[in-house]
């Protein structure tokens, strides 16, 4: 029984991440609105960030800024990767939003299926 509780507590963070990931995935797959899709992608992205940072955590550790008083630090490598990923993420999201604006201009809509039906017509 205590084994089970241990497993659940140990893996709880990963499960939350998976739930968030699936929420993002569902939004991307099921919604036709392009802005909503981008927000879904962002949610998916943030869940991956949390996953990486979770890997880097060491119990009893502190932030990886070296000092006399501490001996246990969290793993700095995931932090570096995610730090750059966040900024790159917002830059690419901005590019996506710019594309949405242009699509709206060309087709007069930002709904995926309406764009497809317009493409099929002529």
Partner 1 sequence: MHNFLVLRVIAKLLLPFILLFALYVQFHGDYGPGGGFQAGVIFAAGFILYALVWGVENAELVLPRGLLRFCFAAGVMLYAGVGLYDILAGGMYLDYSVMAQDSVKGQHLGILLVELGVGITVSTVMVTIFYTFAGYRR
Partner 2 sequence: MALTAYAVARLHNLYAVVMLAGIYSLLAAVMFVVLDAVDVAFTEAAVGAGISTVLALGTLALTKSREKTPRHTRILPLAVCGITGAALVYGTLDLEHYGDPSAAPHHHVGPEYLARSIPDTGVPNVVTSVLASYRGYDTLGETTVIFTAGVGVVLLLGSWRRKEDDDA
Site for partner 2 in 2-41 (CB under 8 A): 6-7, 9-16, 18-27, 29-33, 35-36, 38-40
Among 60, 87, 113, 122, binds partner 1 (CB under 8 A): 87
Query: Minimum distance from CB of 24 to partner 2 (Å)?
Result: 7
What separation, in Å, do the N-terminal and C-terminal C-alpha atoms of the chain show?
65
Residue 4 binds which of partner 1, partner 2, none (CB < 5-8 A, kind-dependent):
none
Return all residues near 42 (Cβ < 8 A) that are at least 6 apart.
24, 89, 93
Cβ contact 62:32 at 8 Å: no
Using CB under 8 A as the binding rule, the residues of this chain from 84 to 113 that contact partner 2 are 84, 86-95, 97-102, 104, 109-111, 113
Query: Minimum distance from CB of 29 to partner 1 (Å)?
Result: 27
> Dihedral sign, CA of 54, 55, 59, 65?
negative
Point out which span in 14-22, 30-38, 93-101, 112-120 binds partner 1 (CB under 8 A): 93-101
In this structure, the number of other CB atoms found within 10 A of the CB of residue 121 comes to: 6
Return all residues near 79 (Cβ < 8 A) that are at least 6 apart.
53, 56, 64
Among 9, 29, 65, 69, binds partner 1 (CB under 8 A): 65
Using CB under 8 A as the binding rule, the residues of this chain from 18 to 47 that contact partner 1 are none
């Amino acid at each position: 029984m205590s084994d089970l509780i241990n497993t659940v507590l140990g893996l709880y963070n990963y499960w939350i991440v998976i739930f968030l990931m699936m929420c993002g995935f569902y939004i991307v797959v099921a919604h036709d609105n392009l802005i909503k899709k981008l927000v879904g992608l962002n949610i998916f992205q943030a869940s991956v960030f949390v996953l990486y940072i979770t890997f880097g955590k060491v119990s009893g550790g502190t932030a990886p800024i070296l000092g006399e008083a501490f001996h246990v630090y969290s793993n700095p490598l995931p932090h570096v990767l995610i730090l750059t990923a966040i900024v790159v993420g917002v830059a690419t999201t901005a590019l996506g939003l710019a594309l949405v604006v242009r699509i709206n201009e060309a087709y007069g809509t930002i709904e995926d299926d309406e764009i497809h039906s317009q493409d099929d017509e002529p």
